[in-house]
Amino acid sequence: MRGRAPKQRPYVATTAQIWALYDALPPSYRNMLLLGAFAGIRVGEMAALTVDDVDWTRGIVTPTAQHDDEDLKTDESANSIPIPLELVDMLRADAGTRMVVPGVFGRGVSAYQLNRVWIDARSTVPGLPDGFRIHDLRHYFASMLIAAGLDVKVVQARMRHASATVTLNTYGHLWPDSDDSSRAAVAAVIRLHAQNKAPGKVPVGQEIHEHDAGFGNDRESERGADGDVR
């Protein structure tokens, strides 16, 4: 019986490619990229995100639905995402009066329209695979958080995954190499042992005791027959 083929790892765009995509998109669609790459919003959520779903003062995005009034993917999808005020300002600059991604006519967009505009912009950016999707902006978001040193529970919360297992199965390879970390931990103990066994080397942990013993001997040698310290 044949085993399963290994799951293909998602393509993670470079930061230069992300900004090239931003520049290639029409202004009324640029918030699509900002929401995906810097907040992890899914394409269906982008199409349905209203200005009321954003706390513009505190910097919080809370998806409430997907396009065509479909329910969110999971219960965790309704969790709020904190965003910096710099991103708030960029989103506000291109938001419509009702929709965060307003589209050409300002009335909002469908997921189909987002994808059509996306394909045109993608074709102008060197190095992006033909199958690079709007959803793949989420992979960039996750990789950015991991590179910044965030742990798996925080990344899970920002990605709004149902469990940390989902996060690890998808992005575990992006965390720093645990092989090198474990090697370093073992090597440190072995090096310490080798140092302690070296000729004439006082084992670590005994220096204080031997120093105390020597100090006591010195004190005894300074005492005279009458017991006074000279």
Same domain, 67 and 93: yes
Walking along the chain (230 residues) 10 residues at a time, the average pLDDT comes out as: 61 95 97 96 94 97 86 84 96 96 90 94 95 94 89 90 83 72 82 81 54 48 48
Same domain, 163 and 183: no
Same domain, 151 and 90: yes
Question: Within a domain: residue 157?
Answer: yes
In this structure, are residues 65 and 72 in contact, taking their beta carbons and an 8 Å threshold?
yes
Same domain, 75 and 21: yes
The whole-model pTM stands at 0.74
Same domain, 114 and 190: no
In this structure, are residues 66 and 135 in contact, taking their beta carbons and an 8 Å threshold?
no
Same domain, 77 and 141: yes
DSSP string, 31-48: HHHHHHHHH---HHHHHH
pLDDT (0 to 100) of residue 1: 44
Q: Which of 152, 174, 196 is the last residue of a domain?
A: 174
pLDDT (0 to 100) of residue 183: 79
pLDDT (0 to 100) of residue 13: 95
3-state secondary structure of 229: strand
Question: Within a domain: residue 75?
Answer: yes
Same domain, 83 and 164: yes
Question: Within a domain: residue 61?
Answer: yes
CA 12 – CA 118 distance, rounded (Å): 16
What is the number of structural domains in the chain? Answer: 2
Expressed as residue numbers, the domain containing 78 is 15-174
Residue with token string 């959520």: 45
